[in-house]
Structure 1
Amino acid sequence: MKGVAPFGGGRGPFIFTVLLEERIVVDLLTRELEAMVRNEAPAMEQKGEISPKVLEAIYKRGLFKLLVPRELGGHMLPLPEALRVFEGASRIDGSFGWLVTIGSGGGYFAASMEPEVCRELFSPREAVIAGSGYPAGEARRVNGGFRVSGRWKYISGCDYASIFTVNCVIRDEGGDGRIRSFILMPEQVKILRDWRAFGLKATGSHSIVVEEAFVPERMTFDIAEPYPVYEDPLFRYPFLPFALTSFAAVALGVAARFLEEARNLLEARREVWPSPRVEAGLQAVSRAAERLQGVASAFYRTVDDTWAIHKNRPLTEEETASVNRRSRETAQEALLLADAVFPHLGMAGIMEGEPANRAWRDLHTVCRHVLLSDWG
């Protein structure tokens, strides 16, 4: 399978398509989808959730299955291609891109689950994982499995998730304190509607609570111990750079959307009231856009080069560190470029109804993720 029209290649009808081995072209991101999502975005932000229309479009294109094995109805894109789709989706809209990225990321766990469990959970058309990697729960061994309790924050996509995965500390009688991942079904989870962030409002990234839920042994897994069923290189790729590259791609897309909308706002102002300030703003946008393209090129060069190495042998610690560092630098540079342009927008820039304002808030929210903002 190979990319046919990666994001950023002109203004044709397709933003990103893939060509599967059977020579079937799958339209992942199209201009029609872009227009529809952007039209829905203001109402989604007000409601704090993705609209049924947009969710159906995601299911139809398999955007939650970009990294799911093809045997289970997924696209199983190589990571570098998936990242470009994440960027493209995020340029359409920040919340849309974040949800596509987080939903697709669940495919990473497919090889770690028992094969039969994996087939059961990932095969449905609407299959999508929401969850947390933070070990905010506790699990006690009982006959046949575990009893799980805990509270986890920032569970993006929890309103429509078909599967939840959470990390818990195992509290055996011996108190070994090991951490393991647990699979929960929606009926075992209580959603606390507490997502009150100023950006990515439509992601529904609420907290969840689980109280004494029984989880069979077969519904647990360890991502460090994948089953030898799916041979795709993704399932041998370290989790931290996988997460970091995904989030950096979102930051690139949202930053590009901000600059696009900043230009639109300033050009509209120039038509009504041309001034040196407006011209200075447009020049600042052009400089930032050029710099962002350079940042993106450096990011993908690092990703592509290390992915090629990874397919042949495990990455060294130094190579892994270079991916992680480049991802964090990419997100933070994208943020700095947006912040340099923002003052040029004047009062219009602070109005929440402006698309430029929404993109700026979304970008700040993305870049506050602990993995992107923690430089220690």
Structure 2
Amino acid sequence: MITEIRHVADKHANEGKLPEEILNYMYEAKLFKLFVPKELNGLMLPLPEALRVFERASWIDGSFGWLVTIGSGGGFFSATLPPEQSKLLFGHDRAVVAGSGHANGIALSVDGGYIVSGQWKYCSGSTYASLFTANCRIGAEPGEEPEVRSFAFLPEQVEIIRDWNAFGLKATESHSIRVQEAFVPSERTFDIMSTPHYDDPIFRYPFLPFAQTSFAAVSLGICRHFLEEARSFAMARQADWAIARPQRLEALISVLEEHETSLDAVAKQFYETVERTWADFERSGAMDEQQQREVGESSQRIAISTLAYAHAIFPLLGMAVLMEDNPMNRIWRDLHTVTQHTVLVP
């Protein structure tokens, strides 16, 4: 399946979306349901195990891995929505969430719910989402601090603004969404800080380290793919370069070996930190500020390191990798896109 996903992803790279056959595989493998309770047809993985899934998916293909990661993160809301709504919205095979955490909407209270209008950017998986979630400010009197609440929208209530034109992660369809005077019943609103309806510890895990570790795992997987492709590229040109450019070949192999070893070391430290703090969290039900800071720094170290490795290797690959249809060019762009996320920037 790895070869098939990479082949199809390369073939459709300029279309800005993953083809239907890959999406069908993601649904069948429940890759959007890593944090959905088993009662709702999910897999409910512990965080350290899910991070390794994110890494492997991103090693296969950057957009594929990002969509698995973001789609899985939407499973958090299965524990915050009222249970009847969770069964309806998350229980079916093709359930997947797209949305935003920014409070860019305005909600006006009416009988039975709210009238909502707003626009949100960077909603990955927007074109195939079965559910959209976004934060809104509930209308308050002048001078009062508005309440922020989360709202769930059905696809027919949402307009997709196709504005995702980033140079990397092109197939994630991370477009903006807009709703205009949409009625949302009270039972499709929730407070992400409320007590979850399911007991799994992931639903009590702090959001910032969850996002940091998730995106660090994506960076790690994309970088592994880049290093592997660079080594394959060097081996394919070994005979020619040994005669015409022996110093370039020696330098590239030396730098590759150095950074492959370094990547293994920072990845080992990252997973050890996550697993140790996760075990403490499972036992105590809480994560102190020191542990959150430690997890955050370890995640940011992954982003910094993977970028440094790519920057050291890219100039040694010659002119061919400047072409946008070269696999390493696309992987390099994907890596720069994910590490640009604010939670990975120190």
Tell me the TM-score range normalised by the shorter chain: over 0.9
Q: What SS does the corresponding residue of 2:283 show, helix, strand or coil? A: coil
Answer yes or no: is the 8 Å Cα contact 2:55–2:220 preserved in 1: yes
- 2:291 paired with 1:323: no
Query: What displacement does 1:224 show?
Result: 0.7
Q: Contact between 1:158 and 1:205, CA under 8 Å: does it hold in 2?
A: yes
C-alpha contact 1:170 1:176 (8 A) present in aligned 2? no
Counterpart check, 1:179 vs 2:148: yes
Q: Residue 299 of structure 1 corresponds to which residue in structure 2?
A: 270
Q: SS at 2:293's partner residue?
A: helix
Q: Which residue of 1 aligns with 2:282?
A: 311
Rounded Cα–Cα distance in structure 1 between residues aligned with 2:331 and 2:31: 21
Give the alignment partner of residue 202 of structure 1, picking from 150, 153, 171.
171
Partner of 2:132: 164
Q: Which amino acid aligns with 1:77?
A: L
Q: Distance in 1 between matches of 2:232 and 2:275?
A: 32
SS at match of 1:101: helix
The residue aligned with 1:366 is 338
User: Aligned-pair distance for 1:176?
Assistant: 3.2
Question: In structure 1, which of residues 226, 229, 248 is the aligned counterpart of residue 216 of structure 2?
Answer: 248
Query: 1:213 & 1:325 partners in 2: Cα distance?
Result: 40
Task: Decide whether the 8 Å contact of 2:241 with 2:248 is kept in 1.
Answer: no
> Residue 160 of structure 2 corresponds to which residue in structure 1?
191
Supply the AA of the counterpart residue of 2:278: W
Q: Which amino acid aligns with 1:359?
A: I
Distance 2:324 2:191 in 1: 42
Is 2:58 aligned against 1:90?
Answer: yes
Report deviation, 1:137. 1.3
Instruction: State whether residues 107 and 116 of structure 2, in contact with CA within 8 Å, keep that contact through their aligned partners in structure 1.
Output: yes
Q: CA RMSD in A?
A: 1.1
Q: How far is the alpha carbon of 1:79 from its aligned partner? A: 0.5
Which residue identity does 1:189 align to in structure 2? Answer: V
**Pair 1:145 & 2:116 matched:** no
1:37-186 alignment runs, 5 A limit? 37-173=5-141, 175-186=144-155
Return the match for 2:247 from 276, 300, 303.
276
The Cα shift of 1:319 comes to 0.9
Q: Does 1:221 align with 2:193?
A: no
- 2:162 & 2:13 partners in 1: Cα distance? 15
Match of 1:353 in 2: 325
Aligned residue type for 2:155: P
Residue of structure 2 equivalent to 1:6 = none
1:170, 1:328 → 2: CA distance?
A: 34
Greater relative contact order structure (CA < 8 Å, 6+ sep): 2
Deviation at 1:304, TM superposition (A): 0.2
Q: Secondary structure at the match of 1:365?
A: helix
Q: Deviations over 1:156-182 (max 9, x none)?
A: 100100000001111134643121110
Aligned 8 A contact 1:257 1:359 in 2 = yes
SS of the aligned residue for 1:311 comes to helix
- Percent identity over the alignment is 52
**2:257 is matched with which residue: 280, 286, 305?**
286
Could you tell me which residue of structure 2 aligns to residue 19 of structure 1? none
The Cα of 1:252 is off from its aligned counterpart by: 0.2
**SS class of match (2:163):** coil
Give distance in 2, aligned partners of 1:317 and 1:208.
Answer: 34
Report if aligned partners of 2:107, 2:139 keep a CA contact under 8 Å in 1.
yes
Alpha-carbon distance, 1:354 to partner: 1.3
Assess if the C-alpha contact under 8 Å between 1:288 and 1:338 holds in 2.
no
The CA deviation string for residues 22-43 of structure 1, in whole angstroms up to 9 with x for no partner, is xxxxxxxxxxx21111011123
Distance 2:271 2:125 in 1: 27
Q: Output the TM-score relative to the length of structure 2.
A: 0.96
Aligned length: 341
Structure 1 portions without partners, runs of 5+: 1-32
**Match in the other structure for 2:313:** 341
TM-score of the superposed pair, with normalisation by structure 1: 0.89
Q: Deviations over 1:49-85 (max 9, x none)?
A: 0100100010111111111100111110000000000
Cα-to-partner distance string for 1:165-211 (whole Å, 9 max, x where unaligned): 00111113464312111000101110111111110001111111111
- The answer to which of 278-287 and 77-86 deviates more is 278-287
* Large movers: runs of 4+ above 4 Å: none
Deviates more, 1:291-300 or 1:268-277: 268-277
Check whether the contact 2:114–2:186 (CA below 8 A) recurs between aligned residues. yes
**Mapped partners of 2:268, 2:149: distance in 1:** 37
SS in 2 for 1:339: helix
Q: CA deviation at 1:322?
A: 1.1
Secondary structure, aligned partner of 1:191: strand
AA paired with 1:277? R
**Cα separation, 2, equivalents of 1:328 and 1:42:** 29
Distance of 1:361 and 1:261 partners within structure 2: 14
Question: What's 1:21 paired with?
Answer: none
Find the residue that maps to 1:138 and give its secondary structure.
strand
In 1, the alpha carbon distance for the partners of 2:31 and 2:43 equals 9
